Amino acid sequence: MIVWITGASSGLGLHTARQLKLAGLTVVAGARSFEGREGEGEEGYRLPLDVKDEASMDRFVERALSLYGPPDALCCCAGVLTLGACEEYTRREFVDVLETNFLGEALMVSRALPLMRKAGRGKIALFTSINGLLGVPYQGAYTASKHAIEGYAECLRMETAPFGISVCVVEPGDHQSGSQKYRRHARTKDPESPYYADYQKAVSQIAHDEENGSDPDILGKRLARALQRKRLPARLIIGKADQHLAVLLHRLLPARLFSRLLSFYYMRHF
């Protein structure tokens, strides 16, 4: 099986690429940092890829096709997180997160899909997050981008099913793989911000949860197993029990009560 994977140089993308290769899959690993470093690596065959640059996407596709032929699967893992208050994100910060996390996935899909339709089969795994199911304070732009992928994936799944293509949203909880390189801070980091005190509490809790999060290699192994099945599941929620519980409570509790509980967890006020 030939798998194209984006965001393969760090975080969950790196761990996923490694596990796919260890499972015996042929992995074409794309990332910006692979510029000038093309060749075989622990992640698979490295190719430069910037998911915010369509010309870079086209070069990746052309080179991957010349090396291995069309993909059997596409895994979109590239992502960036900018922490801040919803009010205080700049337009540029919103655009940067959405271009990377949402458009980067959608535009890679648009390049892989014609090849899969021609073959009459294919598998697409789109990385969202638990944040694609519920909001977390001071992750507004990131959460918006992940919700966008969730809705996009539902449409994509229905449209591509007649062509033998299955679509899965991978919804990780906190994992021990966060890269500070792709974690930015909006103006809320400024002590003059009216949100500053709560922001500091929330960021501290977020960092604690990631440091004590799940093993990212387990996620990679689960996705490797899923890709080797006849069809992908519609979704893979991968995280600790408390994160699964949060998703369940989000569905069951009144919205105001759930928001109050989450506010207490992240900012210590109810």
CB–CB of 130/237 below 8 Å? Answer: yes
Query: Which residue, chain included where needed, has tokens 């796919």?
Result: 20
* DSSP helix/strand/coil, 218: helix
Which one from 45, 89, 138, 142 is the annotated catalytic residue?
Answer: 142
Nearest-angstrom CA–CA distance, 248 and 226 = 23
Give, for 98, the enclosing helix (H) or strand (E). helix 91-98
HEC per residue, 134-148: CCCCCEHHHHHHHHH
CB burial class (10 A; 0-12, 13-18, 19+) of residue 146? buried
Tell me how far apart the alpha carbons of residues 69 and 63 are, in angstroms, rounded to a whole number: 9
Tokens coding 136: 């977390």
User: 31 and 74 in contact (C-beta within 8 Å)?
Assistant: no
Q: Work out the angle at residue 220's Cα, subtended by the Cα atoms of residues 214 and 224, and round it to the nearest 5 degrees.
A: 145
Alpha carbon distance 164, 71 (integer Å): 14
Is 138 designated active site? no
Distance of alpha carbon 84 from alpha carbon 69, whole angstroms: 42
| Active site members | 142
